[in-house]
């Protein structure tokens, strides 16, 4: 377990925190009923979402008398507490993850590879998944995270703002050139330079990588500085440095503080988000006239593609009941349980991890209730869809890349210098991991 010994010392001080958070030991195997296996399940949801997940677990417990799942919400610093529990030899049986830590955890031998459970009735799990979903949970050829609920991204466009800007609301941008030209007509600034309305602001690099055909990880290293596609994408983002960074950031923050976004409030022309934006609009601005299209493509780029992320379930190394944990997480994902998943996934506005769940009548009925939902699901089968490469330093890479975007939008670094910094720090971290 390379590099693991250093982590033990760092985490030892946190072990009592985990014991306190858990509130109970994972070592119990019965709840008073002979033969009932007690599973400990940790996740990081809180508020409304915590209740949704608990309701799903309750349904599992009612239909699986030989297993009882005990849920614990750890909304703060969940990954650190998980790794601490693994070192202490008392991890949960299942952990739900949505941050890009899977490569780091797997590289440190902190997770069980799930391929070992794919026998008998479970032999077709990999073929059952959307290919891009399977890739997203895979590290060095082994599946370490079973996809549960998926997210795909599209470009939302406000038809009323397009019309006000003199644009055809039935002709949303399909190319980068059209997006740049259309959004430029929508910005509104006060006489004092304060932002009052946004056309579009590209402050995320990763979500554009499939559209720009960017492959940032090649031959075991990050390659960005002299990567033509990677550089072209960052240069395009840097073109938006003409807008005042501080004013734009402050404007966006006012919405984030209130758990909304400027698009849902009718103050942004174009916005990239997942299917969960639809209920946000329904709640805060139900009369909005809007649509969705795939992300516009640059010359030579990929059309009708998307970037994928979501939630996946892991079985930590040292879990007391891995076979029952596997039974639980496959049930949640909908494997051999498609009809149930087709009814439960809409509760979160989720895209299933498998086309077989998507094809179920209940899920199709839900999609058809709002025609804007279906395009998000249709994109899932494009073989050119992409993910952020799964490596031992994906989380660090993503943070470095986010910082680099901010630097170019502020005009503090050129596109090439920003990418060179991301490449250097990420590759150095890879060497340290080794």
Domains of the chain, residue spans: 4-151+309-381, 154-306+389-433
What tokens does 151 get? 């997210």
Q: Specify the fold of 154-306+389-433.
A: D-Maltodextrin-Binding Protein; domain 2 (3.40.190)
CB-based contact 205:233 (threshold 8 Å)? yes
Q: Which fold has domain 4-151+309-381?
A: D-Maltodextrin-Binding Protein; domain 2 (3.40.190)
pLDDT of residue 434: 59
Pairwise CA distance, residues 413 & 411, whole Å: 6
CA 134-80-56 angle, 5° bins: 55
**Residue 26 in tokens:** 């994972």
Per-residue model confidence (pLDDT) at position 33:
60
pLDDT for position 48: 84
Pick from 252, 150, 269, 218: which is nearest to 426 by CA? 218
> What's 175's DSSP letter?
B
Per-residue pLDDT of the chain (434 residues; tens, 9 = 90+): 444 433 433 333 343 333 344 434 444 444 546 789 999 999 999 888 899 999 999 999 999 999 999 999 998 888 999 999 999 999 999 999 998 999 999 999 999 999 999 999 999 999 999 999 999 999 999 999 999 999 999 999 999 999 999 999 999 999 999 999 999 999 999 998 899 999 999 999 999 999 999 999 999 999 999 999 999 999 999 999 999 999 999 999 999 877 789 999 999 999 999 998 998 999 999 999 999 999 999 999 999 999 999 999 999 999 999 999 999 999 999 999 999 999 999 988 899 999 999 999 999 999 999 999 999 999 999 999 999 999 999 999 999 999 999 999 999 999 999 999 999 999 999 998 75
Q: Which residues contact 69 (CB under 8 A, 6 or more apart)?
A: 39, 41, 57, 60, 61, 94, 328
List strand residue ranges (DSSP E) for 159-306, in order. Answer: 188-189, 195-197, 217-218, 221-222, 270-273, 290-293
User: At a CB cut-off of 8 Å and minimum separation 6, what does 44 contact?
Assistant: 73, 74, 75, 78, 96, 98
pLDDT score for 1: 40
**What's residue 19's pLDDT?**
38
Q: Do domains 4-151+309-381 and 154-306+389-433 have the same CATH topology?
A: yes
For residue 396, give the 3-state DSSP assignment: helix
């Amino acid at each position: 377990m390379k590099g693991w010994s250093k982590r033990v010392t760092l985490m030892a001080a946190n072990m009592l925190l985990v014991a306190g958070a858990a509130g109970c030991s994972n070592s119990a195997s019965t709840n008073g009923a002979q033969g009932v296996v007690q599973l400990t399940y940790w996740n990081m949801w809180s508020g409304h979402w915590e209740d949704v997940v608990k309701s799903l677990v309750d349904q599992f417990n009612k239909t699986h008398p030989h297993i009882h799942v005990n849920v614990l919400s750890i909304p703060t610093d969940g990954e650190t507490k998980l790794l601490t529990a693994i070192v202490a030899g008392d991890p949960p049986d299942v952990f739900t993850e949505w941050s890009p830590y899977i490569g780091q955890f797997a590289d440190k031998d902190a997770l069980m590879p799930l391929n070992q459970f794919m026998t008998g009735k479970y032999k077709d799990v990999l073929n059952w998944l959307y290919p891009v979903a399977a890739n997203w949970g895979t590290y060095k050829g082994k599946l370490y995270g079973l996809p549960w609920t998926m997210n795909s991204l599209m470009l939302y466009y406000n038809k009323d703002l397009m019309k006000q800007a003199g644009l055809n609301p039935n002709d949303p941008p399909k190319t980068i050139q059209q997006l740049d030209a259309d959004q430029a007509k929508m910005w509104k600034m006060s006489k004092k330079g304060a932002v009052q309305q946004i056309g579009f602001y590209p402050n995320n690099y990763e979500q554009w990588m499939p559209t720009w055909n960017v492959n940032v990880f090649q031959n075991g290293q990050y390659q960005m500085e002299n990567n033509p596609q990677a550089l072209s994408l960052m240069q395009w983002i840097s073109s938006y440095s003409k807008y005042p960074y501080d004013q734009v950031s402050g404007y966006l923050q006012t919405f984030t503080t209130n758990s909304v976004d400027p698009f849902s409030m009718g103050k942004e022309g174009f916005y990239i988000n997942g299917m969960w934006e639809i209920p946000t609009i329904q709640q805060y601005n139900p009369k909005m006239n809007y649509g969705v299209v795939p992300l516009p493509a640059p010359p030579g780029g990929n059309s009708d593609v998307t970037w994928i992320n979501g939630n996946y379930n892991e079985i930590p190394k040292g879990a007391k009941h891995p076979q029952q944990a596997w039974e639980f997480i496959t049930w949640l994902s909908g494997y051999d349980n498609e009809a149930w998943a087709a009814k439960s996934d809409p509760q979160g506005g989720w895209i299933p991890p498998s086309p077989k769940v998507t094809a179920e009548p209940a899920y199709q009925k839900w999609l058809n209730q709002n025609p804007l939902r279906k395009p998000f699901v249709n994109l899932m089968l494009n073989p050119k869809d992409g993910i952020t490469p799964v490596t031992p330093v994906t989380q660090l890479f993503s943070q470095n890349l986010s910082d680099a975007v901010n630097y170019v939008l502020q005009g503090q670094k050129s596109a090439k210098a920003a990418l060179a910094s991301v490449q250097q720090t990420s590759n150095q971290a890879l060497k340290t991991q080794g």
